[in-house]
Every structure is written in structure tokens, then in C-alpha cells.
């Protein structure tokens, strides 16, 4: 069952509290294991700025966005679907399905841990299971964080500037940052 409680208070919680909340809430639905027949188009779009639309109108209820996000999957061919055990519907994603809109950092160097708050309210701790990378796009470099499966969050420009500032202050060559025991080059 998808998470129905409001997301944790990212701004006032420690990373330990955020990690405990992630443990508490359990795993998202096992969408990677479901293989129902394709039933059509959901008439939904996730725009480049992260707005979820249905039939051209914004979905304004955060709980609905979180519900749809919990059953979102990226297919082997790069397309996106909303999937349940009994149906699969196409959804258009203009850039990435999520945006990382805030970051928390605790520790330094190899002992650093970075947590990101997504536009859906979900928290992701960067590390071996959730790597950071830079994608070359026609619009320029796009910093990204793996959320789950093949779903990524684009890191919002102000958050990326914070991340780059931390990386440059540490002086690694190439410039990069540690989180949860993994090093991510940002060059």
C-alpha cells in the first residue's frame, strides 16, 4: 500500500531521523515485478518543471501525486508507465519524473551523508544505491539522482549550486562529493 502519511519534515529533521523514517515507511510497491497488459494512455504528463497534469490540467492534491509516483515505472525502452498488478498505462515524462528541491549535508569528506527532498516530499539519501550523476542534454549538463528502479530526479539548479560548493570546498580532483561511503564526480 502506498504511503498515505504526509512526508517527514525535511527542514527540521536530522539525517538520522530522515533515515529512520525511510526504514519505517517500508518499500514502495514492487512495480518492477508486475507485468500486466498495456491498457492505453493515462492522459497524464509530468512536465519539465515537475508539474503533474491530467488531460492538460494540474493535479493539485499532493497525496494524489505521491500515489501516482508510487506506481510509476520506467520501461526498458525508456518510456514511462503507471503500473498496477492488473493494468499498465503510458505516461509522458518531459525530462525526469522527479526534482530534488532541497538538500541536507552532515559530516565531511568520506564521512559525509547527503539527503535530498524530492518535489513529491520523498527523501532520498545519496549513496551506492542512489548514485548522483551528470547527464549531458541538449540544454546542458543535468545533475541527477537515482530514486528507484530506473527513475531519476533532476537536481534543481539552486540545490546543485549548494552541492558544487561543497564539492569544491573539499578540493577533490576531479571535483566531486562523498555520500554514504560512495564518491560521485561532478565534472
User: What is the distance between the alpha carbons of residues 87 and 167, in angstroms, rounded to a whole number?
Assistant: 44
Where does the pLDDT of residue 30 fall: very low under 50, low under 70, confident under 90, or very high at 90 and above?
confident
pLDDT of residue 92: 98
Q: Are 50 and 99 in contact (CB under 8 A)?
A: yes
pLDDT of residue 89: 95
pLDDT mean over 81-88: 93
For the segment 43-78, what is each residue's pLDDT rounded down to a tens digit? 999 999 999 999 999 999 998 998 999 999 999 999
Q: In what order do the strands lie in the sheet with 38-46?
A: 57-58, 52-54, 38-46, 88-93, 80-83, 72-74
Percent of the chain with pLDDT over 90: 70
For the segment 92-103, what is each residue's pLDDT rounded down to a tens digit? 999 999 999 999
Amino acid at each position: 500500500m502506498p504511503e498515505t502519511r504526509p512526508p517527514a519534515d525535511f527542514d527540521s529533521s536530522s539525517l538520522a531521523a530522515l533515515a529512520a523514517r525511510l526504514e519505517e515507511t517500508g518499500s514502495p510497491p514492487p512495480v518492477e515485478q508486475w507485468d500486466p497488459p498495456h491498457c492505453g494512455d493515462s492522459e497524464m504528463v509530468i512536465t519539465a518543471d515537475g508539474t503533474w497534469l491530467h488531460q492538460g490540467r494540474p493535479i493539485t492534491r499532493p497525496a494524489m501525486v505521491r500515489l501516482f509516483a508510487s506506481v510509476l515505472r520506467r520501461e526498458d525502452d525508456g518510456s514511462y508507465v503507471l503500473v498496477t498488478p492488473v493494468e499498465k498505462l503510458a505516461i509522458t515524462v518531459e525530462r525526469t519524473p522527479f526534482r530534488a528541491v532541497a538538500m541536507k549535508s552532515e559530516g565531511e569528506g568520506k564521512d559525509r551523508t547527503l539527503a535530498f527532498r524530492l518535489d513529491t516530499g520523498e527523501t532520498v539519501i545519496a549513496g551506492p544505491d542512489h548514485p548522483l550523476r551528470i547527464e549531458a542534454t541538449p540544454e546542458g549538463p543535468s545533475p541527477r539522482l537515482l530514486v528507484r528502479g530506473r527513475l531519476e530526479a533532476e537536481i534543481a539548479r539552486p540545490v546543485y549550486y549548494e552541492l558544487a560548493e561543497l564539492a569544491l570546498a573539499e578540493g577533490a580532483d576531479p571535483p566531486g562529493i562523498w555520500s554514504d561511503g560512495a564518491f560521485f564526480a561532478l565534472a
